[in-house]
Amino acid sequence: MNVISVVTKPFPGQKPGTSGLRKKVKLFSQPGYLESFVQSIFDNLPDRQGKTLVLGGDGRYFNDVAIQIILRMAAAAGFGRVLVGQNGILSTPAASAVIRKRGAFGGIILSASHNPGGADGDFGIKYNLGNGGPANEGFTDAVYQRTQDISVYRQVAAEDIDLGRLGETRIGEMPVSVIDPVADYAALLESLFDFGRIANLLARPGFRMRFDAMHAVNGPYAHAILEDRLGAPAGTVVNGTPLPDFGGGHPDPNPVYAADLVAALADPKSGLSFGAASDGDGDRNMIVGRGFIVSPSDSLAVLAANHQLIPAYALGLAGVARSMPTSCALDRVAAELGIACYETPTGWKYFGNLLDAGKATLCGEESAGTGSNHVREKDGLWAVLYWLNIVAVREQPVEQIVREHWRRFGRNVYARHDYEGLQTAQAETLFAELRQKLPALAGSIVAGTRIKAADDFCYIDPVDGSRSERQGVRVILEDGSRIVFRMSGTGTEGATVRLYLERYEPDPARHEIPAGEALVSLAALAEKVARIAEISGRKVPDVIS
């Protein structure tokens, strides 16, 4: 086997964020840029020799090129085998499922999740451990340190392989198995849910659903599971062909970027009663009823409250977990169930220890990610099937299920305001000022409202004792309302500042008040505290969800 050592250099800014390294395609396609980062991953895997690596991505632009490069580098690094999804496709939850089922050493997932694709769009890469979950901070920090002094990467001299043909081939001495990207994942989901009952629901007169794959990775999975296995009519899945630029769209399942789906469910003439969408790599979801959008935080709480209806979870939940910015609706369900509710930083990797230790069964984030202990990633189609299973058993529409949940537990009125593409210096100034104010905020009165507590969230992992600091600034009011400020780690240009607003409303008579109206005073208080408009020049957020 002809291993070639290629001289390279450190590239600035190769520090992984909450979900790996995400940059513009133009950066990744520079000679040596991807290779240097991949070599830095491999250099931190001393036990890789002879082991199995899983590889695939969301099909975005540069995905096919990157896979061929990584295959040649994996052969040079001494891996015993690589399992790669056909045509380079593997959704993020499917990759986790394959790693776990096949007992793989780990996996490389190529995705920038919900970020735009195409030649001028974004690309991403992350490493997942043998449990199927994202690498922890200790590993990603070590990778970043290696990128700062790397001088050479290694690859074998080999031609590209045919990723479209299932079966085994070789690169150098290393076998490469091109696998069906759907099979293992679909079998896993079928073991969790009552597929017979869901199939009956989809065949019921008067029930019609639409799944918008947003020209992203979940198209083939939705076609195979919803239409082929469960018998949903052809055409149930729309925008189901993965495209390198996601059809020119933004593959983020929210009311702004999935507006067509929301409009269709709001139109009585459409005949639709259930809608769903997923993102670029298939790990996020949006659930829409007839004229009713389910917030991600409410969705997580509803799934937990109805766990007994789902075969895989009917015997009970060990515990639940949510990211800190996610609303406290889940906490109220956990309290009634008598189980623990863990509050973690944003990033699915923080749930891994809880899941592996058997402390949590369901997990979720306000950014439309929900999942369980079946894999170690959030899972968009899993959430859709969970909802369909609930609807099938309860024989109620989505809106009724959520409103009954509110009557039972109260409503956590919630919104996220995104300020995208800010100058990094502006965002740093905003957070520096916030942190300076923290000692004086607790007990103070701002805009006529008393602040009970204020801090910069610090998480101590209950399993391994690791400590994660500066995970978001929290301002908690006397009535329990919360304001959270956080810098997102998923953007590729400038900085994205996220403002989270939450107010608990136990009175059913007030559940009809629109979230924007119910949270207007909190938004005003947030501006007083953080001066977002003054510092950024943005009078309104770019996205409200």
Measuring CA to CA, which residue among 368, 415, 333 is closest to residue 252?
Answer: 368
CA distances from 126 to 20, 92, 106 (A): 4, 10, 11
Active site residue 536: no
Beta bridge mates, 294? 287
- Annotate 425-482 with DSSP letters as a single string: HHHHHHHHHHHHHHHHHTT-EETTEEEEEEEE--EE-TTT--EE----EEEEETTS-E
- How far from the centroid of its chain's Cα atoms is residue 164's Cα? 27
Measuring CA to CA, which residue among 65, 64, 109 is closest to residue 88?
Answer: 64
- Annotate 306-327 with DSSP letters as a single string: TGGGSGGGTT--SEEEEETTS-
* Cβ-contact 472, 322 below 8 angstroms: no
What's the number of CA atoms in the CB half-sphere (13 Å) around residue 536? 26
CA distances from 230 to 116, 200, 219, 344, 452 (A): 31, 9, 15, 35, 51
Given the residues 36, 96, 111, 113, select the one marked as catalytic. Answer: 113
Tokens of 545: 């969800």
* Cβ-contact 345, 473 below 8 angstroms: no
Catalytic residues: 113
